[in-house]
Structure 1
Amino acid sequence: MKQWISIIGLLLLMNISDSYAQVYNYIEEDENKNGKVKQDPNTQSDKVPLRDKLFFGGNVGFQFGDVTLVNLAPLIGYKITPQLHSGVVFSYTYYKDKRFNPTFNQNIIGGRIFARYIVSVTEQLHIFPHLEFQTMRYETRNGLFEVPAEWYNSVLPGIGIQQRIGQRSAINIYALYDLNYNNDTSIYDSPWVFRVEFNI
């Protein structure tokens, strides 16, 4: 008797499932006729709008006193993939040191191109290998004479940490190494370069 009850129950279940499938198909067909076509998620376009692939940011630095330093470095980047990012940075630095007599002045203008690959540690914390090429033009004036402008090029590989602080915004901290470092001509005091950067 129990076997018959199980068989009847199984048949009823199959009948209900079949009826549900027919109703579902009918609704789908009716939507298709009215121009409301249900798309298969696997066939939907995976194109990302350009505005979601672009990101902006950079860093700003100020110091006043006997030594005046103003640094502006706006950035525009592009997400080639969700992990691989590239971009350009334009940089301007004004340096003035009153401790020298006469006063020492320097203007540094240039830019850099970079690429980095984002690796997630947590949802909010990421690390990334970073590589950039930088070219800077600097001119020096000390009140008595002006040194002709010179170009300084450098290749800087390194690693960074990214802490997300919103859906699109993040703070990046870099540790980079200048492969072209030369104690006589470099614009840096050491081959190690550290930066803090904000992205949106």
Structure 2
Amino acid sequence: MKRLLICFFLLAGVQLAHAQYYKTDTVTRKGFDPSRLVLGGSLGMVFGDVTNVDISPLVGYRFSDYIAAGVNINAQYGQYKVWSYDQIVQRDKYTIFGGGIWGRVYPLPMVFIHVQPEYNFVTQNSTVYLNNNEKQTYKTNYGVPSLLVGAGYTQNVGGRVGIGISILYDVIQDDRSPYNNSLIYRVGAGIGF
């Protein structure tokens, strides 16, 4: 965690030194400006005893140099296995579909404060393997609200394309939240950051 914070502050310092040359467009357009669209999201994959595939696109609009907002979609599939010695005793599979809105405030051109209320629909199948080669499967469906709050850093890598990292936390902490009372680390790429 210390290394992540040191890297964050180092990148922020480099960007602040470079920010002296940051120029805003002096031509202001009235109405919708396609160059202010924000397209991005994140893609994550983990495989093994714990499997998770996460596809979370987002789209938004940069209303000014300081404010951006938009909508996001969440789609996740996951499973994990519980082992006892050399055999599986339980396997849980889940799918999460949902979305919400997000907003960002940029106090500096590359640093943002992020707020994201969302609602996710979760389907979970738990299969318990019994001693006599039998199994029992339990299925649950539910919806759960979340309010992700945090901060992040974006770095332009050329033109309007950038990469971003953010650290978020679900402040509602519903017992069934997919975020499990832990910090959420996201790395993504996008256009119009």
Question: Is TM more than 0.5 here?
Answer: yes
Deviation at 1:191? 4.1
Alignment correspondent of 1:130:
114
User: Of the two structures, which has the highest relative contact order with CA contacts closer than 8 Å and spacing of 6 or more?
Assistant: 2
Please list every run of at least 4 consecutive aligned residues from structure 1 whose deviation after the TM superposition is greater than 4 angstroms: none
Structure 1 residues 178 and 102: CA distance shift in structure 2, 3 A: closer
Question: How many Å separate the matches in 1 of 2:107 and 2:190?
Answer: 17
Question: How many Å separate the matches in 2 of 1:176 and 1:94?
Answer: 20
SS of corresponding position for 1:101: strand
Alignment correspondent of 2:178:
187
Question: How many Å separate the matches in 1 of 2:189 and 2:178?
Answer: 23
TM-score, structure 1 normalization: 0.68
* Structure 2 gap segments, 5+ residues each: 1-25, 83-87, 128-135
Alignment correspondent of 2:99:
111
SS of corresponding position for 1:145: strand
The letter for the 2-side match of 1:109 is: F
Alignment correspondent of 1:30:
none
Alignment correspondent of 1:22:
none
- 1:69-80 → structure 2 map (5 Å cutoff): 69-80=52-63
Deviation at 1:98? 3.1
Alignment correspondent of 2:164:
172
SS of corresponding position for 2:160: coil
Deviation at 1:153? 0.5
Structure 1 residues 181 and 191: CA distance shift in structure 2, 3 A: farther
TM-score, structure 2 normalization: 0.71
Question: How many Å separate the matches in 2 of 1:56 and 1:179?
Answer: 26
Question: How many Å separate the matches in 1 of 2:77 and 2:55?
Answer: 9
Deviation at 1:101? 2.7
Taking only the aligned residue pairs, the percentage that are identical comes to 29
8 Å CA contact 2:147–2:172 kept in 1: the answer is yes
Residue 54 (str. 1) matches residue 62 (str. 2):
no
Structure 1 residues 165 and 118: CA distance shift in structure 2, 3 A: same
* Structure 1 gap segments, 5+ residues each: 1-41
Deviation at 1:142? 1.6
> Which structure features the higher share of strand residues?
2
> Which structure features the higher share of helix residues?
1
Alignment correspondent of 1:155:
147
Alignment correspondent of 1:89:
72
Alignment correspondent of 2:46:
63
Question: How many Å separate the matches in 2 of 1:61 and 1:45?
Answer: 37
Alignment correspondent of 1:28:
none
8 Å CA contact 2:173–2:180 kept in 1: the answer is no
Question: How many Å separate the matches in 1 of 2:42 and 2:183?
Answer: 18
Query: Of the candidates 101, 126, 149, which is equivalent to residue 142 of structure 1?
Result: 126
